[in-house]
Chains A and B, each alone.
Chain A
Amino acid sequence: MLNYFTFTTTIEILCFFVALLCLKKDNVPMWKYFSFFLLLTCIAELSGIYLKRNHHPYNAWVYNILMVFEFGFVNLMFREIGRRYAQTKTVIICGIILVAVFYALDMISHGIFVYNNLTYTVMSVILVIYSLVYYYSIMTGDNYVRIAYSAQFWFVTGCLFYYFGETACDLFYDKLQTVFITPLHTLTYYIYAILNVLLYGCWSYSFICRRWLEKRSETL
């Protein structure tokens, strides 16, 4: 059982519990259902480990399915966040169509049992662009954002760190995979570990902001 608690799954499970604690009474549906998405992520990660440890030949199909939910959910979150700045519907739909096309191409070329690396890279680039557009909106908007208390800002920051780093890792994966930091783990293992800490750390803090700090900052 303990084998299932890797560095990444532990962080994901912790983030799930923070979401459960902070967002269960949230008024906005997208935030409220965040914990369901994290639960799904945890289940997928644990299933992936189970399949790998039990010598099943493929576990990539689990991550390929998770990818659909991940992109769908993060996209909807960006739509929710971008609502106050601009009309985001068209941009979001274009992004979904683009990723869907690459997903279909990946599926046709190698099927569901091989990881959709190209789709994930395209998806990461799109989400990085959304994050940068959000920052641009903050800079050009009439009002300032209380960054230390803004759930939206920390959600986007988590996304930017993760998907930016993820893009680099995907691009240079073949070379990075050859660099062993310890006899057991390559450089990519540590980079992904750091990216996961940043992503789930920022997201957990954004849930805390959502539950307590945003309301407090409004009364300051």
Chain B
Amino acid sequence: MQKMAGEEIRNTVIIATAIFLVAPAFIVVYISVYNNRKKRHIEEKKLMQLTFASELTKTQLEVQEQTMQTIGADLHDNIGQLLSLTSQTLKSIELDNQAKARQKIDTSIDLTVRSIKEMRLLGHLLQGDQLVAVGLAEAIRQLISWMERSGKYKLVYTVGDEIPAKGNADKDLIIFRITQEIFNNIIKHADASEITIGLDYEQGMLSLRIADNGVGFAADEAPPGKHGMGLQNIRKRAGIIGGEANINSDQGKGTQIIISVPYP
């Protein structure tokens, strides 16, 4: 009986020793698996940061390209025409007929003043490109001023009081680019006459709401081609900065896009 008990104790001791010997192996395997997961997580994070940086550079270039295109078109269609007209008017002045000359000089002065005004607006548009200096709300205001000038649209722009004074330059850039993209879509496809823009801030979330009274589209069937790509880009870009884009539209009932982004 005593021999049996001794045997059992010995077996227990052997098993306990075996557990002691195997335990470190489990610890090492666990550390190794955990470390590998951490490695994957860190690498994914790095990749995301790289993607974000490259997306930011791309956005910066797109904003500049869009601004340059607008300026180019404006110089050609508007300021160029005004200056040509000024030149023609000045050329046609007959110094012998002072009364008519006076009238033509006045017309030329008026045309020149209008050109200067247009140039000033273009200058503001270029400033909008320098988002860091003017801030998001002001950059959007300049974009709206330029759109208003065409006289085609009635624009209402409201900015909430709570918007943080110190923004986030990267997010500002992407939100600004989204705004440009939405305005482009409105100009090209919406056939709208009224546009409402609201920029608000509540509980750490910045929301940009742009609504138009244009032709709209069936939101569940994203329009094909470039327009569809534009909407995808809006969603993707909002996602990059941790936000989301809600696009509501219906045939003949206009479109409303709300971008919500954690801010700053």
Contacts and interface: CB of A to CB of B under 8 A. Distances in A.
Interface of A: 132, 135, 138-139, 143-145, 147, 157, 160-161, 164-165, 167-169, 172, 175-176, 178-179, 187, 191, 194-195
Contacts of A138: 31, 35
A175 B9 contact: yes
A129 B31 CA distance: 15
A160 B17 contact: no
B10 interface: yes
12 contacts: A139-B34, A139-B35, A139-B38, A144-B36, A147-B31, A164-B21, A168-B21, A172-B13, A175-B9, A178-B10, A191-B21, A194-B21
Contact of A144 (B13, B21, B24, B38): B38
Contacts of B36: 144
Interface residues of B, number: 21
Contacts of B25: 161
Interface in B14-28: 14, 16-17, 20-21, 23-25, 27-28
A147 B17 contact: no
Contact of B10 (A132, A157, A164, A175): A175
B156 interface: no
A148 B28 CA distance: 12
A168 B36 CA distance: 30
B39 interface: yes
Main secondary structure of the interface of A (DSSP, over half): helix
Interface string B24-47: 110110011011101100100000
B42 A144 contact: yes
Contacts of A135: 27, 31
Interface string B240-264: 0000000000000000000000000
B14 A176 contact: yes
Contact of A161 (B9, B24, B35, B38): B24
Give the 5 A-B residue pairs with the shortest CB-CB distance, closest first.
Answer: A168-B20, A144-B39, A175-B13, A172-B13, A144-B38
Nearest to A142: B42
A194 B17 CA distance: 13
Nearest to A178: B10
Nearest to B18: A168
A168 B17 contact: yes
